[in-house]
Amino acid sequence: MSVLERINGPRDLDSLSAAELSQLCREIRAYLISSVAKTGGHLGPNLGVVETTVAIHRVFDSPKDSVVFDTGHQSYVHKMLTGRRDLSSLRQKDGLAGYPQRSESEHDIVESSHASSSLSWADGIAKAYKLTGQDDRYVVAVVGDGALTGGMAWEALNNISDDNDRKLVIVVNDNGRSYAPTIGGLARYLNDVRTDKNYRRLYKLSKKLFYKFGLVGRLVYSAARGAGKGLLSTFAPQGMFPNLDIKYIGPVDGHDLAAMEQALRQAKKYGSPVIVHAITQKGKGFDPATLHEDDQFHAVGKIDPSTGESLEDSSAETWTGAFGDEILKIAEKRKDIIGITGAMLIPVGLDKFAKKYPERVFDVGIAEQHAVTSAAGMAFGGLHPVVAVYATFMNRAFDQVLMDVALHKAGVTFVLDRAGVTGPDGASHHGMWDLSVLQVVPGIRIAAPRDADTLREELNEAVAVSDAPTVLRFSKGTVGQSIRAIKRTDDGVDVLLQSASKDVLLVCVGAMASVGLQVAELLAAQGIGATVIDPRWVVPVAKSVVQMASEHRLVVTIEDGIKVGGIGTRVRQDMRAAQVDTALNEVGLPDEFLEHASRAQIMERVGLTAQAIARDIVAQVVGSRVPHARPIADSAQVIRSEKTQK
């Protein structure tokens, strides 16, 4: 039996010898590589926290002691040590989540995988333990150096330093990267610490003394240096977290298990907030990852476990790629175009722009609020910023979009990647709220391209707006085939299909256009005529949409955002204002946190498939006694037949 096979919970680590612990770390790394290669997932971050996570679980007693991960993508090792060794179902339907999840284990606390929030969580938990008399419980927050670029982390540190009577340990996992290399003054400072020759010599000597003489050896060495304040003052870089009055231990080699344990035990003794600064390497132990300059295998699909080569088809055009190519073309023509992103330069497609015009692309770190308000300032100064982030992260900067951009009529374009149902990353990564949240912003204009051609067209239209915020949102993954319009209305609405009988008007948002066309085909088989339109710009609602609604018996809006406050709601309001009383069905996502699974599996469950939508429409049309419509039973039969043929 391997050492890993003997670990069913954290306390199984207690009896392991130094040799067994070393073997365990090797087995964990080997298993991570072989397993994630089959499922895809966040490989690099987890390879970098093996020893650090083992040390945390040896020193602290989870779940009595609360361990909070920021962000949760570095929690695979934690899962393996807390009874979830088998990662074969990782990020798959009904399998293990790619982030901590309370329903999986009592050891998991914070499910949200949005960065920079762990210290606020830890602050709150520690305060609760103190106020409820649970003085024997510790809180451990594992925060990456990339997450420290987020303002929320510094708000938390400011408050943590205000009350020293709590058992709170902050482990800074410093690998010099978030998704890509960490940016900013803090990153430069940490890099100086990481590479400083005097520190490295000092650390190596203290390490030798520790192994030879234990803690006494270090303290003797500290005194010999004349520090007079013991271990902390000797080894703490003086510029780290200035004026916060939080004890500091480090830097510590995060891959030296004994050193990490010693540092954590020292931190535990203080009984007050303390920072343990661990230096780690993202992708540790897997050469293809450490040698990959772009992201060190931050997140991978299925790969060859020996070479790291992707096993997935990369030839198809992606939404991100289409945007990246077009924004570069626009930037070549217009010098006022500026790119901004939050620690996601490559994932959102700004890397080509940055490579050609590095002075015109800004990666602000995990700081979406700053990105948006900075963009407002740039617009005031005569530029047109394009802020590209994942749709789910846009939620964090809503106030800035509302008060700093829209209120000031700033010409800023927001490009939201991974909008709608994204799949295996789960609840916190589905980009399903943007349409509902952003459409309440006065003056905002929102575009949803259906294919690569309309993406390019609408991006050019968006950056031409200089007096209001514009939004371009698109899905994750490959684009699919282009869908040609049979005509375009004077106000820019594309008609994709029009039957002789005007029974149903299908208003399709973005990538849902292909689903709408499939619905129309199924309806035609039942003798029900449909008109399929793509509004292109879904907010504000074009007048031609309302006009066409008045000419049909039923309007159905199809979107991959939540129905509550979605585009369907907006169309209904405009119809009502124009005194159009055509019945309207809103088809979209339910107002719930969606599970991790493939996009297709989720869409099937929530009824966002052509078959499910067509069934509902047939039932309503037949119920309204449209003379040429067939019975519901026939509908179900034909739809089943259609599904069988496919």
With beta carbons less than 8 A apart as the criterion, state whether 414 and 471 touch.
yes
Residue 282 falls in the annotated catalytic set: yes
Three-state SS sequence of 249-278: EEEEECCCHHHHHHHHHHHHHHCCCEEEEE
- CA–CA separation, 399 and 402 (whole Å): 5
Catalytic residue among 396, 553, 563, 599: 396
> Across-strand partners of 271?
none
- CA–CA separation, 60 and 71 (whole Å): 20
Cis ω for the linkage preceding 305 (within 30 of 0)? no
Query: Is there a binding annotation on residue 430?
Result: no
Query: Is there a binding annotation on residue 453?
Result: no
With beta carbons less than 8 A apart as the criterion, state whether 398 and 527 touch.
no
Cis ω for the linkage preceding 454 (within 30 of 0)? no
Residues in the chain: 646
Burial category of 5 from C-beta neighbours within 10 Å (exposed 0-12, middle 13-18, buried 19 and up): exposed
Catalytic residue among 29, 84, 167, 282: 282
Query: Is there a binding annotation on residue 286?
Result: yes
Query: Is there a binding annotation on residue 326?
Result: no
Query: Is there a binding annotation on residue 147?
Result: yes
Catalytic residue among 368, 458, 461, 559: 368
Query: Is there a binding annotation on residue 542?
Result: no
Three-state SS sequence of 272-297: CCEEEEEECCCCCCCHHHHCCCCCCC
> Which structure tokens are listed for 50?
């093996």
Q: What is the DSSP string of 59-89?
A: HS-TTTSEEEEESGGG-HHHHHHTT----TT
With beta carbons less than 8 A apart as the criterion, state whether 403 and 373 touch.
no
Query: Is there a binding annotation on residue 146?
Result: yes
Query: Is there a binding annotation on residue 191?
Result: no
Other CB atoms within a 10 A radius of the CB of residue 240 amount to: 18
70, 79, 40, 74 alpha-carbon torsion, rounded to 10°: 20
Which helix (H) or strand (E) is 321 found in, with range? helix 319-333
338 three-state secondary structure: strand
Question: Which residues, other chains included, contact 151 with Cβ-Cβ below 8 Å and sequence gap of 6+?
Answer: 116, 367, 369, 370
Residue 473 falls in the annotated catalytic set: no
Residue 309 falls in the annotated catalytic set: no
Binding region: 73, 113-115, 145-147, 175, 286, 368
Annotated binding-site residues for Mg(2+) read: 145, 175
Annotated binding residues for thiamine diphosphate, written as ranges, equal: 73, 113-115, 146-147, 175, 286, 368
Residues assigned a catalytic role:
282, 368, 396
